[in-house]
Structure 1
């Protein structure tokens, strides 16, 4: 069978060969980085520069994960073409590839020396806010790095501990967006090197596979988890070269930010009794955290044990007009997951609530 390009692919089974580069490769484990791999994800790019998302299901991971590597050029045949996923699309293509037990992967002979490496669709920093809570596609951004933090442990709302690193990105008009890398991505990003290079010269970066988030009481920010990748001062990326040319030669040094580990934060939390907590004015203590030791004495009656939670922000979703809508005004999420919410009554020597 002949060699096809990505643009030639059609839905269904495909026995033809396509020659592609594995531009990005990541493991999808769900919300918990410690969970088992649910599927292996890739962004593939062909010689013409067209791209497509591809997925290796968990039941054939052992066959294909050892032979797939980011950056390699492969010939692949006997694949299945499906409609692209409705949410968190990595590239703009109506189709996606699923590998199966019959898929064959080989190293091509004499691939083109200028075979494309990267694929992205840049969204200006000034336009990012309109994508808060939007799950349709991942966002790709370019900017000058002006600050970078250490990787610090963070306790999430679900009680799990994750690594987090903060990066400040600025465009030509000094619009700034904060990017948070989480989990393995926070650890993999070489913040020390970026800081050292940024003390004397400009650091231009493209981050792909991000999404816009906003939590209660916080400013909007870009989130980078498993699908996120970055290209820092890559001279073979035209967009980075063009961005650099539009900046003044004299650069402000990259700032070093300090993030506190959750252990440091815990040590600073003040201990209160239930009675003292009852007397606290919440308007005077916005953002404050307190610790209290109490005994659970009862499960609250006439309370729901679970609720439909928005997968974007975690707020309660309301079913209306044939679909779910997030109850949070600033969130446009329409997909849900059911979460437990058990209401308890606790008591110490001062009060019960």
Structure 2
């Protein structure tokens, strides 16, 4: 019998007694620059099989328990955590909630999974939306550029997973850099 996991989109504020199966996309240390770089937390982005991304946070007081187990791209079971509303001042995903590790949290790396959990997630914004967000501190974009082209292998009649290629122009340097991203559909 297959394990039953809760989906990140179904999380509600409060203590969660269910287990989620998630991939760790990214993690980093959040430090207080006003206090000499004192560690505040280890923050992360988690994604599930429905491509729902949530912000996760391990408080500094609990980071030693988990930090050596964190591996970007790996799949984990997560249980015994708190669910809080996402902060409007520090919003890392579109999800209305965030995950906060507590004393009862369990975060175990899985050697394998039957679920198809994406390995990347991109958020695209219209230009006017980016202008509205400028200098608000509400969003933290990783890369900003112009989407120049989209190509799909759906019409190529290639067996297997279908892919989408996005061409992104970055104006940071002259001549403009062109990057291509591939992703599964």
TM class by shorter chain equals: 0.7 to 0.9
- 1:137 pairs, out of 114, 139, 142, with 139
Counterpart position of 1:80: 82
Counterpart position of 2:178: 203
Cα distance between partner residues in 1 of 2:144 and 2:31: 27
Cα distance between partner residues in 1 of 2:86 and 2:66: 21
Q: How many residues align?
A: 165
Cα distance between partner residues in 2 of 1:175 and 1:2: 42
1:301-322 per-residue CA deviation (whole Å, 9 max, x = no partner) reads: xxxxxxxxxxxxxxxxxxxxxx
SS in 2 for 1:117: coil
Cα–Cα, structure 1 residues 33 and 90, in superposed 2: closer, same or farther, change >3 Å? farther
- 1:65 pairs, out of 64, 67, 76, with 67
Cα–Cα, structure 1 residues 140 and 114, in superposed 2: closer, same or farther, change >3 Å? same
Following superposition, the deviation at residue 112 of structure 1 comes to 3.5
Cα distance between partner residues in 1 of 2:73 and 2:171: 28
Following superposition, the deviation at residue 14 of structure 1 comes to 1.0
- 1:102 pairs, out of 101, 104, 110, with 104
Counterpart position of 2:33: 31
CA contact (8 A) 1:120 1:140 kept: no
Following superposition, the deviation at residue 105 of structure 1 comes to 1.6
- 1:47 pairs, out of 46, 49, 59, with 49
Structure whose alpha-carbon radius of gyration is higher: 1
1:79-124 per-residue CA deviation (whole Å, 9 max, x = no partner) reads: 0111111212010111111001211121236314742012232124
Following superposition, the deviation at residue 131 of structure 1 comes to 2.3
Cα–Cα, structure 1 residues 19 and 171, in superposed 2: closer, same or farther, change >3 Å? closer
Counterpart position of 1:19: 21
Following superposition, the deviation at residue 72 of structure 1 comes to 1.2
Counterpart position of 2:182: 235
Following superposition, the deviation at residue 140 of structure 1 comes to 5.3
CA contact (8 A) 2:31 2:38 kept: yes
Give the TM-score taking structure 2 as reference length: 0.74
Cα–Cα, structure 1 residues 16 and 127, in superposed 2: closer, same or farther, change >3 Å? closer
SS in 2 for 1:235: strand
CA contact (8 A) 2:169 2:178 kept: no
Cα–Cα, structure 1 residues 70 and 176, in superposed 2: closer, same or farther, change >3 Å? closer
Cα distance between partner residues in 1 of 2:24 and 2:73: 5
CA contact (8 A) 1:12 1:80 kept: yes
Cα–Cα, structure 1 residues 176 and 7, in superposed 2: closer, same or farther, change >3 Å? closer
Cα–Cα, structure 1 residues 113 and 34, in superposed 2: closer, same or farther, change >3 Å? farther
- Cα RMSD (Å) of the superposition? 3.3
Runs (5+) with no aligned partner, structure 1: 144-169, 180-194, 205-232, 239-353
Cα distance between partner residues in 2 of 1:8 and 1:42: 19
Residues 246-325 of structure 1: matches in 2 within 5 Å?
none
Runs (5+) with no aligned partner, structure 2: 150-167
Cα distance between partner residues in 2 of 1:5 and 1:175: 35
